[in-house]
Amino acid sequence: MVFKEILPGQKLQPYIKCFYLYESDSDRSYDDIVFPSGTMEVIFNLGTGNWKSKKGDLFYTTPPVELWGQITRPLAIQSVGRNIMLGFRFYPHSAAYFFDESVSEFNNEIVDATHVFGPKLKTLYLKLLETADLNTKVAMIEDYLWSRLSVSEKKHSKIKFIGDIVSNLKKNYSGDNILSISNRHNISARYLNTLFSQYTGLPPKLFYKINRFQHSLSLVSSNEEKLTNVAYSAGYFDQAHFIKEFKLFTGFTPNSFAAQASPINQVLAGG
């Protein structure tokens, strides 16, 4: 497996967390699970294989250009054939800069990104298929994103406001904190919750839970701390609380996850 993360150029760094390249190392098909990450992303499938994601009891082939909404529960996927994925990941709030819709409409969905962004994205995808050099591909995507960003400037102040709250809530969520933030900005807590959901896809409390889970996931994956220590380091009340929430977001207990973790669920669930 090849996995490479690429930082965006300076002008896109406030909006795009990273680009990444994933290449499977064989044609072998396999099943895996993707976990909630607190972010949205777009993936260009450039290989000869394809991906399938589970909805209900069935698996469906994902589109060539995938838009991943906020995932709030474990999502089963299948890799079929040799896959090459070139993706970019938004910050929790920054996908909203590029959409006219409320981003919460895409929660727990993988949709055809060309239906959301329009025909120019499909043209870009076809050009990426014809381009060999990775840096050139990333530059082409950056040019597209910058042109897309310029049409959404009227929303920038509200989204930036939510971005500031995202940073605050990563460190501390409580009813008192939400009330303090809303009072400071002279808005109601209810309106703050509505704005946060509109521009991140998640209500503040769930965002905080997913962010806390992602921190615990990185600690479990590193296998350097006892589970009791992980629970308290990640901000859980106790080990039972940690295990319950970890299982809610992964379908596994921390011990069973550590024994079977695979590379792809870290690629697609990187918070």
Tens digits of per-residue pLDDT, 36-64? 999 999 999 999 999 999 999 999 999 99
Nearest by Cα to 134 from 51, 15, 20:
20
- pLDDT beyond 90 at 264: no
Among 116-120, 176-180, 247-251, name the one with the lowest average pLDDT.
176-180
What CATH class does 2-152 carry? mainly beta
Token pair listed for 24: 């499977």
pLDDT at 268: 57
- Beta bridge mates, 111: 67
Query: In the chain, what are the domain boundaries?
Result: 2-152
> Would the pTM count as exceeding 0.85?
yes
Question: 15, 97 in Cβ contact below 8 A?
Answer: yes
Residue 259: what pLDDT? Answer: 65
Q: Report how far residue 104's alpha carbon sits from residue 196's, in angstroms, rounded to the nearest whole number.
A: 10
What counts of helices (H) and strands (E) characterise the chain? 11, 10
How far from 173 is each of 41, 208, 212, CA to CA, in Å?
25, 6, 10
Q: Tens digit of pLDDT for each residue in 92-118?
A: 999 999 987 789 999 999 999 999 999
Distance CA 91, CA 271 (A): 9
Return the residue matching tokens 């795009």.
16
Cβ proximity of 67 and 114 under 8 Å: no
Share of the chain above pLDDT 70, in %: 93
Nearest CA-CA partner of 156 in 118, 199, 186, 119: 199
CA–centroid distance for 136 within its chain: 24
